[in-house]
A and B are shown apart, each in its own frame.
Chain A
């Protein structure tokens, strides 16, 4: 029979007669990461077909149903129990993402959201003709094993997401956020078989640097966070933003279209990458899950694909990411069906089994749906640019996945089973909300405060990341106008809050810009994941607003990195963070447009399991009407007035100060959206009217750190009256200087603009607290408390600059 399975080139897997226990053992042994319910569904399906599956079929199902591809925890059933003030409440989520993050977006219903949660990236409107796409991905487990290759393929993969959104967007900027173990970890503390955090950090930074720089895409924004909890399981987030014509956003596949694979050849790289990401790390994690990137190939694919897009030579496209051809073609052909000839796939070397060809995660490959009439032209175009382009099959209309190898059928399954046959898992989540107790005031002398102040500046999570940032080309393409390091000159610089891209080359004649920022606060999450998520959202928005973004044109991306969701407490903390996403998105009126999750971030040493501190990275993107109306964070001119906008509260828990002083109690910074949203809107108005010279958001380290960063970046001095800072109730000097309350900004205003500035902020909480000094001293003084901290601005710069050397 023509379509009968033939196993000359594949193996038949005996599962029809396996017991439950044997099914589980089979999944474990073959790194399939399938649960017993999933294995039983597969068994049931093949019992109906009256045959055993082939290895190709089993591997295809495992990839398609993997946590990485299907997000089955966050889209599955979760029975959530919350205990607060000795009261228990229960709630069933049938799809946590749809009922929190996605729900907020649907309810906000912004017309300028052009494509959300359905393609490889989210797209918002840039102008009448163009949209702007943004995606952030994680590549944690590969980076733990091979930091250079893992992170390089992380950035390479997310660039392909942008290339695979709609009919392809042109990448304009990259972002990267990393969480590493402490760099000064002693060698004996590093688990056997794992790399030292410094080696991981160096390799990861080099991987992103080499891939991003060679692609000619600037890396413009990011963050690095250090904590022992990431020692054996680093987190590597890579993001890419790109511009796409609005008429290239929709894509579809027609029956009869040809399947074209372009780019890299297929090898054994990354076999089981998708299912591997659902497994904890241990000493025996193996080579086949490691992919190696080749940016030169991807750059050629990018350039040629955009030419083909503009010539309307293909109808749909997606990238080969996790699960390789299996996921990409399975996804494109979901509504039609496909026939693929695996022996036509270009290989790096001989000897690959059909299932290996089908699920390999070899890099730099894109899959296109090409109308028959364009067959010749599109291949000529790719060949002319020295890019391999090979037709490997066709989209059919029988809604079947048919794979052939040397004329033998090696897989024949219903698309409906592949995409919808997965049983919805049910998981249990529990969260006991800890009661936070207010921290008693901590009295300190001027000398002690000064020491703490310097410790905060040199803390790994506050200090300069210049040694990393300077390795990246953040100028290539010549469109980065607000850069990651800002200041008076190359020798003195401070940390920019957000990046602004002015795409005047990509879109001729535009005045508009694109702002990119991020927020993450893992230390808050150790105590309260709701507040961590809320703070990350607010921080990302604050950062964008600080450079001149309009809150009404902002969008968000979520990236959850969590431990094992089979642990109810771990999952409970994730549910709380997702609830915060809904609440904050609604409160700030800012929609989520895309997201991703990476679960099972656990590692095992000597049989004991360790989970990472949970992280929700929030990346924000917005459109700025006029890039001329943007500001940086460095102080500009002597004599200008300094204002602190927002309220300082006694919120020390999870702060840099609490870490330095080893304080476990206190209140984690809360978000007060009503207060901060109003301030953010007015900052936009004031910047647009040219009333603000510089603006900086107040986050890790608190006011003392933020104000001194502004001073040394501008090579200026500053004088601050601590008593003038607006607080909620009476606060001590320590709390005022080091509390990390949300919703605060520091701005510089020239005296002539003071009255207009004050008029704009009428009704908000704010205060004039000092001025820019020409003598280059940073002074914090409280006459009430007889406290005076006086340091040379350049000395503080050195403290901030010299803490890390990668």
Chain B
């Protein structure tokens, strides 16, 4: 199993992160200076790291504005900032992952793979865990179809 994280390169606008910060301010939460948004993909199957790197480079990231990181297993590194991670619940149709599975085959990788897509929000600033949960529930995850983790 591999995790691919996509990041906006320095010097390029992270508009989703900016929007989320603006929404957080809108609901009256102060103390955060910046949000970095990063989509991520969990790819499982009999696939090797170089193939995952090719998928990340060719399908998942924009070579000009984005960079990617491939980690074996699931990323569990400690960060000094808080992270909210959002994933679909089981049985909820994940259309991006369906398209990705097809695109991986089109790329010439014929091995069977399973993909899950998710979103990570890196929050820069000082807020309590309760506030992080509030941000997740009010803005970032619809708990009807998604689950979230605060790290």
Select which of B28, B92, B95, B144 is within 8 A of A187 by beta carbon: B28
Is B92 a contact partner of A287 (Cβ separation < 8 A)?
A: yes
Chain A residues, Cβ within 8 Å of B28: 187
Q: Is A268 an interface residue (CB 8 A)?
A: yes
A297 to B96, CA, bound (A): 11
CB of B93 within 8 A of CB of A348, answer: yes
Measured between alpha carbons, how far is A290 from B28 in the docked complex, in Å? 30
Say whether B91 faces chain A, with CB atoms less than 8 Å apart: yes
Q: Is the CB of A287 within 8 A of B95?
A: no
- Whether A287 and B26, one on each chain, are in contact in the complex, defined by CB atoms closer than 8 angstroms, is no
Contact among A148, A267, A286 for B93, CB-based, below 8 A:
A267
Query: Is there an interface contact between B95 and A293, defined as CB atoms closer than 8 Å?
Result: yes
Bitwise, A170-198 to B at CB < 8 A (1) or not (0) is: 00000000000000000100000001101
A267 to B94, CA, bound (A): 11
Are A287's CB and B93's CB within 8 A? no
Cα distance A268–B89 when bound, in Å?
A: 13
Contact B145 A146 (CB under 8 A): yes
Residue of A nearest to B95 (CB): A294
Chain B's closest residue to A268 (CB) is B91
Cβ–Cβ contact A290 & B26, under 8 A? no
A132 within 8 A of B: no
Does B98 count as interface, using CB distance less than 8 angstroms?
Answer: yes
Cβ of B145 and Cβ of A187 under 8 Å apart? no
CB-based contact A296/B99 at 8 Å: yes
Give chain B nearest CB distance to A479 CB in angstroms.
28
Binary per-residue interface labels of chain B (69-95) against chain A in the complex, 1 for a CB within 8 Å, 0 otherwise:
000000000000000000001011111
Is A349's CB under 8 angstroms from B91's CB?
A: yes
> Which chain A residues border B98 with CB–CB below 8 Å?
294
Q: Nearest Cβ in chain A — how far from B67, in angstroms?
A: 25
Q: Is A263 an interface residue (CB 8 A)?
A: no
Which chain A residues (125-152) contact chain B, with CB distance < 8 Å? Answer: 145-146, 148-149
Which residues of A sit under 8 angstroms from B138, Cβ to Cβ?
Answer: 187, 196, 199
The residue that B145 contacts in the complex, of A195, A196, A267, A287, with Cβ under 8 A, is A287
**CB-CB under 8 A for A290 and B144, given A187-B28, A196-B138, A198-B26:** yes
* Residues in A neighbouring B93, C-beta threshold 8 A: 267, 269, 291-292, 294, 348, 362-363
Question: Which residues of B lie under 8 Å from residue A187 when comparing CB positions?
Answer: 27-28, 138
A195 to B102: give the CA distance in the assembly, Å: 34
| Bound-state Cα–Cα, A362 to B98, Å | 14
**Interface size class for chain A?**
20 to 34
Inter-chain contact B145/A149, CB cutoff 8 Å: yes
By beta carbon, the residue of chain A nearest B27 is A187
* Chain A residues numbered 143-171 whose CB sits less than 8 Å from any CB in chain B: 145-146, 148-149
Interface size class of B (residues with CB under 8 A): 10 to 19
CB <8 Å contact, A199 and B139 = yes
CB-CB < 8 A to B99: which residues of A?
Answer: 294, 296
CA distance A290 to B139 in the complex (A): 19
Q: A148 vs B142: C-alpha distance in the bound complex, in angstroms?
A: 10
CB distance from B63 to the nearest CB of A (A): 22
- Cβ of A196 to closest chain B Cβ, rounded Å: 7
Contacting pair B89 A287 (CB below 8 A): yes
Which residues of A have CB within 8 Å of B95?
Answer: 292-294, 296-297
A196, B27: Cβ atoms closer than 8 Å: yes
Residue in A closest to B22 when the chains form the complex, CB atoms: A805
B91 (CB) vs chain A CBs: closest residue: A268
Interface string of B90-122 (1 = CB under 8 A from A): 011111001100100000000000000000000
A145 to B146, CA, bound (A): 12
CA distance A730 to B40 in the complex (A): 67
Which residues of the partner chain B approach A149 to less than 8 Å between Cβ atoms?
145
CA distance A187 to B138 in the complex (A): 10
Interface centre among B23, B27, B91, B138 (most CB of A within 10 A): B91
Return the chain B residue nearest A147 by Cβ. B142
User: Chain B contacts of A291 at CB under 8 A?
Assistant: 93
Give the residues from 748 to 763 in chain A that come closer than 8 angstroms, CB to CB, to chain B.
none
A196-B138, A199-B139, A348-B93 are known contacts. Are A290 and B145 too (CB-CB below 8 A)?
Answer: yes
Q: Which residue of A lies closest to B93 (CB)?
A: A292
CB-CB nearest in chain A for B99: A296
Please name the residue on chain A nearest to B90 by beta carbon: A349
- Which residue of chain A is the closest to B146 with respect to CB atoms? A146
| A188 → B minimal CB distance (Å) | 10
Give the distance in Å from the alpha carbon of A195 to the alpha carbon of B93 in the complex.
21
Residues in A with CB closer than 8 Å to B27 are 187, 196
**What's the minimum C-beta distance from A734 to chain B, rounded to whole angstroms?**
35
CA distance A290 to B144 in the complex (A): 9
Q: Within the complex, what minimum Cβ distance (angstroms) separates A273 from chain B?
A: 14
CA gap between A269 and B88 in the complex, in Å: 13
Which residues of B have CB within 8 Å of A362? 93
Interface residues of A in 287-310 (CB under 8 A from B): 287, 290-294, 296-297
B-chain residues with CB within 8 Å of residue A148 when the two chains form the complex:
142
Chain B: minimal CB distance from A738 (Å): 31
Contacting residues, chain B, for A286 (C-beta < 8 A): 144
The contact of A287 among B102, B139, B144, by CB within 8 Å, is: B144
Whether A146 lies near B91 (C-beta < 8 A) is: no
Residue of A nearest to B106 (CB): A386
How far does the alpha carbon of A290 sit from the alpha carbon of B93 in the complex, in Å?
10
Give the complex CA separation of A146 and B92 in angstroms.
12
Cα A149 to Cα B139 with chains together (Å): 15
| Chain B residue at minimum C-beta to C-beta distance from A292 | B93
Closest to A348 in B: B93
Q: What residues on A are CB-neighbors of B23 within 8 Å?
A: 198
CB distance from A385 to the nearest CB of B (A): 13
Which chain B residues (1-37) contact chain A, with CB distance < 8 Å? 23, 26-28
Q: Which residues of the partner chain A approach B139 to less than 8 Å between Cβ atoms?
A: 199
Shortest beta-carbon distance from A357 to chain B in Å: 14
Q: Report the separation of the CA atoms of residues A286 and B89 in the bound assembly, to the nearest whole angstrom.
A: 13
Contacts of A348 in B (CB 8 A): 93
A273–B113 Cα gap in the complex (Å)? 31
Interface pair A292/B92, CB less than 8 Å apart: yes
Question: A330-369: which have CB < 8 Å to B?
Answer: 348-349, 362-363
Within 8 A of B (CB), among A477-501: none
Evaluate contact between B91 and A267: CB separation under 8 angstroms.
yes
Q: From residue 181 to 226 of chain A, which have CB atoms closer than 8 A to chain B?
A: 187, 195-196, 198-199
Nearest chain B CB to A334 CB, angstrom units: 30
Q: Are A146 and B26 within 8 A (Cβ)?
A: no
Contacts of B91 in A (CB 8 A): 267-268, 349
Look across to chain B and name the residue whose beta carbon is closest to the beta carbon of A296.
B99
Q: Give Cα A386–Cα B105 distance, bound, in whole angstroms.
A: 13
Contact pattern, B 112-150, Cβ under 8 Å of A = 1, otherwise 0: 000000000000000000000000001100101100000
**Min CB gap B107→A, angstroms:** 15
Q: Name which residue of chain B comes closest to A152, CB basis.
A: B95
Chain B residues closer than 8 Å to A349, beta-carbon distance: 91
Complex Cα gap A20–B101 (Å): 51
Q: Please give, as numbers and ranges, the residues of chain B lying within 8 Å of A386 by CB-CB distance.
A: 102
- The residue among B92, B93, B99 with the most chain A CB atoms within 10 A of its own CB is B93
Contact with B along A672-716 (1 / 0, CB 8 A): 000000000000000000000000000000000000000000000
CA A349 – CA B26 in complex, angstroms? 40
Residues of chain B within 8 A (CB-CB) of A199 are 138-139
A291 CB, min distance to chain B CBs, angstroms: 8
Cα–Cα distance between A438 and B62 once the two chains are bound (Å): 63
Q: How far is the CB of B147 from chain A (nearest CB, A)?
A: 12
Residues of B within 8 A of A296 (CB): 95, 99
Q: Which residue of the partner chain B has the closest CB to A195?
A: B142
| Cα–Cα distance between A380 and B28 once the two chains are bound (Å) | 57
Extra contacts, 10 of them, besides A198-B26, A294-B95, A386-B102 (Cβ < 8 A), are A146-B145, A148-B142, A149-B145, A199-B138, A268-B91, A290-B144, A292-B145, A294-B93, A294-B99, A297-B95
Q: Which 6 A-B pairs have the closest CB atoms?
A: A292-B93, A294-B95, A287-B144, A146-B142, A268-B91, A269-B93
What are 19 contact pairs spanning A and B, CB under 8 A? A145-B142, A145-B144, A187-B27, A195-B142, A196-B27, A198-B26, A267-B93, A287-B89, A290-B144, A290-B145, A291-B93, A292-B93, A292-B94, A294-B95, A294-B98, A296-B95, A348-B93, A362-B93, A386-B102
